[in-house]
Amino acid sequence: SGWWQSVVTIDLDRDGDLDFILGNISENNKFHPSESKPLIVYANDFDESGTLDIVLTKKYKGMTVPVRGKECSSEQMPFIDDKFPKYADFAISSIEEILGQENLDNAIQLMVNNFSHVALINNGNMSFTQMKLPFESQWAPIMDMVVDDFTGDKIPDVVVAGNLWDTEPETPAYDAGKGLLLRGNGDGTFTTSARIDQSGLLLNKNVKAIEQINLYGGGKGVLIANNNDRLQL
């Protein structure tokens, strides 16, 4: 499971059926969830204030513990200060001890164990093989993608782009994205380069959507929608 941001269909291996590319948050994050150490999100009105409280947790030494520290957690839910006057007591407590098992049982619970961008190769009979996208693409979120033969070799390629600047206070912005051209190799894999002088792309704003459009005279272009900024072409 992931925090999926985008999806496109494409025949990556040229076998006549549709494969998928899924854009995620990227591996460049502070959480690094995995199968054995997932990121678990709870949502409930833990402090009975009338609004939902969102709590991020992780596995640590056999316990489920909050990602946020005591100071930030108590700003969100003031009862924590009364329950845990000492930072040391909070630091050694599980999320069950902090919020109560019943409150957690009644909460919305979501779990994620993979932040990588992936391709799903269609094997037929509703079976898929998952492959990671190239290392260079894992530096930033993929908020949107455009599929076309950009290199003229009759093999589909993919332009990917995205950043995520609006994060919670303790999480740095996901702002390493510059846009990438993933050149299809025809076997489900891609070749790419992060060098701007090779890709010709500089999509480094808070990119949320990209769309291929037809230009006057028969050409094609890609329109880029940047949050709180001007459009790019």
pLDDT at 146: 96
pLDDT tens-digit map of 46-60 = 999 999 999 999 999
Mean pLDDT of 197-203: 81
Residue 10's nearest CA partner among 119, 116, 115, 118 is 119
Averaged pLDDT score across all residues of the chain? 92
Asked if 182 and 118 count as a contact pair (C-beta separation under 8 A), the reply is no
95: enclosing H helix or E strand = helix 95-99
Asked if 38 and 59 count as a contact pair (C-beta separation under 8 A), the reply is yes
pLDDT band at 43 (very low <50, low <70, confident <90, very high): very high
Q: Are strands 180-184 and 157-161 parallel, antiparallel or unpaired?
A: antiparallel
Residue 23, CB half-sphere, CA atoms under 13 Å: how many?
Answer: 27
Q: φ, ψ for residue 157 (rounded to 5)?
A: -115, 170
Name the more confident of 129 and 221.
129
The three-state secondary structure class of 209 is strand
pLDDT band at 216 (very low <50, low <70, confident <90, very high): confident
pLDDT at 74: 92
> Percent of the chain beyond pLDDT 90?
74
pTM for the model stands at 0.87
